[in-house]
Amino acid sequence: MNQGNAKSDPAGSTWDGEVVRVLTCGSVDAGKSTLIGRLLFDLGLVADDQVTALERDTRRTRFAFEGMDFSLLLDGLEAEQQQGITIDVAYRYIRTAARKLIIADTPGHEQYTRNMACGASVSDVAIILVDAQKGILPQTRRHTLIANLFGVRHAILIVNKIDAVDYSEPAFDTITRQFAQYAGGLDYKSVVSIPVAALEGENIVKRTGSTPWYRGPTLVEYLDTIDITRERMTRAMRLPVQSICRTEGTRAIAGTVASGTLRVGDLIGISGTKIETRVARLLGPSGDRPFAVAGESVMALFADEVDLSRGDMLHGPDDRPVFADQFSGRLLWMSEEHLVPERSYLLKIGTRTVPVSITKIKHQIDVDTGAHIARTFLGLNEIAECNFSVSVPISLDSFNKYPETGCFILIDRTTNDTVGAGTVMFALRRATNIHPHRFEIDKRLRASAKGQEPVVIWFTGLPGSGKSTIGNLVEQKLYAVGRHTYLIDGDNIRGGLNRDLGFTEEDRVENIRRAAELARLFADAGLIVIVALISPYRADRRQARELIGDGEFIEVFVDTPIAVCRERDPKGLYAKADRGELSNMTGIDQPYEAPEHPEIRLTTADKTADELADQVIEFLRERRAISLA
């Protein structure tokens, strides 16, 4: 094994020096894997048998290649070796004379931008590679922006393949100047440029003499000396509660200190409350300890009995987090299904997970120019500034000030896939200044005066399935026995409240949101509310259920085959769609997602509308949602 000035770092080993997490990124074929492979080789971290295998694999996979292909040391997936690209994020652990480096080799292809974002989220330094022959490319700008968006504050521009341009200093200076101009508009604390020839090892660990005009440090020299100040240890204390546990008969919380230092005797507060208490004990893996710093997991016991649960945020007496239910943030969309404003997702921030919707896409950020572009939806790998609304107030820290607690992910509520990742910019002022009034006459009293329980009966189904017809009959039957009702019909509200909305997916989502808010208000008035809407998306019906309350929401699926709907075609919509005169019609060129577990399923094939209405009334009797004479 070639001996160098570093040691390999097997998992589980200990290290007293500073740990620096390094991200490598850049455009496709810029040489990221080759750079890291050469770094490992020149530091003496490649065993002799690996060198033999590398020579063999180079001959097998790179027929016209001279020397060794160092990228094969990292491109472990078969798909990567066959295509010569990086797909997954590969990590390497290296000890230099001064530091331990954790290096992430991330994908360069645009479709794998989300993989690169994962590597950026835990990195201190970004090594951004460009091909000296190609210069700055759109993907270079994209990675530079995403790395900064996810907290990287130090950038190293590696102008690779400098040998392919005859080690040209003017070519290096031009690329350096272009990159500095772009990165200067971002929040980087330091940006340096190094000319590199990864295949021959120029300026990685040592100098070969091919770039005598360059007098700066090699890559390893710079990584060994760059000032990575652990700012999170000097910021105000934050500790998201991970779990509640009992020790020695006493209630305690467990969690990881996100920033600052927590000491025995410290006065701490609970975000969103006026409660304060003092830390009585701190327990680590080895028992009692006097303090815990950022990044350390502890169990904390307090001087007073305080009501805490997972997701709560503990903080010091100064510089408290904002407690609000709306905020502005930057979002990287990571799903092939585009983002739709007002659709409900799950927001995971710290240890808290709550329903959230994007109320407004303020603008998309063009990664090439930094320009702001008006958008109504987001596609895969697009970045935008958005307004967010969460179902309940939560602790919010600005990412620029508290990167550990100011970042979040979005989760699809149906698939549980991570569909987005972002950072908090600031809480919206209107969120903290709005204080709902509480009136003496509430929903319970209004309903009691009417002698009924408020409920929302939500009819959904294809166009022409019979929703409005059956809903109308249900209302007549309820009215006949003295019940107070209101019917919200999709066509009717589109003629007034929702007349500004069309039939795109985005407008359909907003149409349902407004209808659900309207139904909630009528239910608050003590009414029995009947809603007849196509409401084609499960996610939006779920959002309506959560808004109204599961106990008061009854989903009725009018299950009519599309062939029967076409035959009925009471409004002539199917005929228009077939003639090409109507677009965005549900069941034709827009999807309808049938309910999976509706409270009531009405099959219209063998029953009359009146019989189906009676079926709804009977359900209400059995459930005792209402009592009928």
Is pLDDT at 157 greater than 50 in this prediction?
A: yes
Instruction: Provide CATH 2.40.30.10 ranges for the chain.
Output: 232-315, 323-432
pLDDT tens sequence across 165-211: 999 999 999 999 999 999 998 889 999 999 999 888 899 999 988 99
Q: How confident is the model at residue 52 (pLDDT cuts 50, 70, 90)?
A: confident
pLDDT tens sequence across 249-271: 788 999 999 989 999 999 999 99
Is pLDDT at 568 greater than 70 in this prediction?
A: yes
Q: Are 544 and 511 in contact (CB under 8 A)?
A: no
Is pLDDT at 51 greater than 60 in this prediction?
A: yes
State how far the Cα of 616 lies from the Cα of 458, in Å rounded to an integer. 11
Highest CATH level, class, for 323-432: mainly beta
**Residues 408-434: what's their mean pLDDT?**
85
Looking at residue 303, the DSSP 8-state letter turns out to be S
Q: How confident is the model at residue 25 (pLDDT cuts 50, 70, 90)?
A: confident
State how far the Cα of 270 lies from the Cα of 170, in Å rounded to an integer. 57
The catalytic residue positions are 535
Helical spans, DSSP H, in 288-340: none
State how far the Cα of 365 lies from the Cα of 138, in Å rounded to an integer. 13
Q: How many CA atoms lie within 13 A of 374 on its CB side?
A: 0
Q: How confident is the model at residue 484 (pLDDT cuts 50, 70, 90)?
A: very high
pLDDT number for residue 85: 43
pLDDT number for residue 216: 94
For residue 534, give the nearest of 551, 553, 518, 557 by alpha carbon: 557
pLDDT number for residue 237: 94
- How is 280-321 classified by DSSP, letter by letter? EEEEETTEE-SEEETT-EEEEEESS-----TT-EEE-SSSPP
Instruction: Provide CATH 3.40.50.300 ranges for the chain.
Output: 7-225, 443-623
**Residues 508-522: what's their mean pLDDT?**
92
Q: How confident is the model at residue 3 (pLDDT cuts 50, 70, 90)?
A: very low
Q: Are 534 and 434 in contact (CB under 8 A)?
A: no
Looking at residue 81, the DSSP 8-state letter turns out to be H
pLDDT number for residue 1: 46
Q: Are 275 and 266 in contact (CB under 8 A)?
A: no
Highest CATH level, class, for 443-623: alpha beta
Phi then psi for residue 338, to 5 deg, are -70, 155
Q: Are 193 and 159 in contact (CB under 8 A)?
A: yes
State how far the Cα of 192 lies from the Cα of 180, in Å rounded to an integer. 9
pLDDT tens sequence across 265-318: 999 999 988 899 999 999 988 889 999 998 899 999 999 988 899 999 999 988
Looking at residue 71, the DSSP 8-state letter turns out to be G
- Decide if domain 232-315 falls under CATH 2.40.30.10: yes
Is pLDDT at 12 greater than 60 in this prediction?
A: no
Q: Are 525 and 428 in contact (CB under 8 A)?
A: no
State how far the Cα of 179 lies from the Cα of 335, in Å rounded to an integer. 29
pLDDT number for residue 81: 41
Highest CATH level, class, for 7-225: alpha beta
Mean per-residue pLDDT of the chain: 85
Q: Which of 219-228, 340-349, 497-506 has the lowest mean pLDDT?
A: 497-506
Q: What is the pTM of this model?
A: 0.71
